[in-house]
Structure 1
Amino acid sequence: MNTPAHLIFGAAAFARPNDWKINCAAILGAFAPDASLYAMAGWHLRVLGTPPEVVFRELYYSDAWQSVFAVDNSFFVWGALLALALYFRRSAGIAFAGAGLLHLALDFPLHHDDGRMHFWPVSTWVFESPVSYWDRAHYGDIIGPIEIAVSLLLLGLLWRRFRSAIARGLLLLAACFQIAPVFFWLLVFDG
C-alpha cells in the first residue's frame, strides 16, 4: 500500500480524539516500516541526483536496501515491540507497535515482486503475492482504486471522530497525499 494509506489505516485503528500522544504514536508506527525507504530514496533522489528509475528499479531491489527493509518490516521485530508495550502497559507503545503491525499485515498480501522479508531474522523468505497494490500486471489497476476508496471511507470515519479544525485540516491533507501517489507513479513509470 502507499504510505499515506498506511497512515490513514493506522489512525483509523488507533487514534483517539484529545489524545495527542496516542495519535502521534499511531501515525509514527504506521509510517515507521516505510521510513528507511523514504530516507534512502530521498538521499539518492534529492542529494545524489540518482534517477527515479535507478532508485526504484535497481537500488530498491539491492541486497543492501533489502537488508534494511528486513529489519523495519519484520513481523518478529514489530511483534516484540507490541509484546513489550503490552507487558509494560504503555498505551502509546501499543498504538505505535499496533499501527506498525497493521502496516505489515496490509503490505504482506499486496506486493508481488517488491515484497519484504517479513519473517526476518527467522527467515529471508519473501512472499510473492499474486496481487499488487500498484503493478497493473498483478491487478494494481483494481487494488489501487480499492485502496483509495477504503482510505477515503476511513477518512470519513476520522472526520466524524475528530471535530477540531486542525484535525480536519490534517485529514484533508491526508486525502490529498493519498491521491497524489497515483500521479507520482504514473510519472516514474511513464503510465
Structure 2
Amino acid sequence: MSGARLLAAAFAGAALPDLSLYVMSGVSLFLLGIPPDVVFDDLYFSDTWQTVFAIDNSFFVWGALCGLACWHRSPWAVALTGAALLHLLLDFPLHHDDGRPHFWPFSWWVFESPVSYWDRGHGAAWVGPIEAVLATSAAVVLWRRRLPMWGGAAVAFLLLAELWVVRQWLFFFSSG
C-alpha cells in the first residue's frame, strides 16, 4: 500500500462527515437560490437534514466501519475511517447549539457544548485562533514529510479553506 493512497484515504475520511453539509447547503444556496438564513436557520435543523447528519456523524457508524477495516486488515480503509473518527472527536466538543446526534442510531441526543468553533458568544474568539494555529501546525508537519506534489497542494488548499472558514465564522456569521 503506497503512502500516497493512504494519504488520499485519510484526506477523504477527514472530509466525509461534513460532505453532506457542503453538498446540501451548496445545492440549496447556489443552485436553488435559497437564502442563507433559510438554509442555516431552517433547513439545517430540519428533520431531513438532521437525519443525514446523524448518519454521517455517528460514532457508531464510523466505529463499526473502522472495526471492519481493522478486521479486514485494510490499511486504506483504516486510514479513511480513522480520519473520519478523528474528525468526529474534534468536532464533538465544539458545537454549542448546532451539534449533531453523534450516537445515532442508539440515541438522538445532541451534546450542547459550552464552547463553539464559530459562535463568539460561546468562545469562538479564542477557539477559532487556536483551531487556526493547530491547523497550520498540522500542515507544516505534513509538508515536512515530503508529500507528493498533489498532497502538498491538497494540504495548502485545505489550510487556506480552514483559515477562510475561521475568518468567516468569526467576523461575519457570529453572534458575539
Q: TM-score, normalised by structure 1?
A: 0.85
Amino acid at match of 1:44: S
| Paired residue secondary structure (1:108) | helix
1:120 aligns with 2:104: yes
Structure 1, unpaired ranges of 5+ = 1-15
Amino acid at match of 1:87: W
Deviations 1:119-159 (A, max 9, x none): 00001100000111111111011101100001101111011
Counterpart contact for 1:26–1:95, Cα < 8 Å: yes
Q: Percent identity?
A: 50
User: Of the candidates 61, 84, 88, which is equivalent to residue 45 of structure 2?
Assistant: 61
Shift of 1:55: 0.8
| Residue in 1 that maps onto 2:4 | 20
1:77 aligns with 2:76: no
1:98-177 → structure 2 map (5 Å cutoff): 98-177=82-161
Q: TM-score, normalised by structure 2?
A: 0.92
Amino acid at match of 1:73: N
User: Of the candidates 74, 82, 93, which is equivalent to residue 90 of structure 1?
Assistant: 74
| Paired residue secondary structure (1:127) | coil
User: C-alpha separation between the residues in 1 aligned to 2:130 and 2:163?
Assistant: 12
Higher relative contact order (CA 8 A, sep 6+): 1
| Residue in 2 that maps onto 1:11 | none
Counterpart contact for 2:119–2:175, Cα < 8 Å: no
| Residue in 1 that maps onto 2:18 | 34
| Paired residue secondary structure (2:44) | helix
Shift of 1:116: 0.4
Counterpart contact for 2:5–2:76, Cα < 8 Å: yes
- How many aligned residue pairs are there? 175
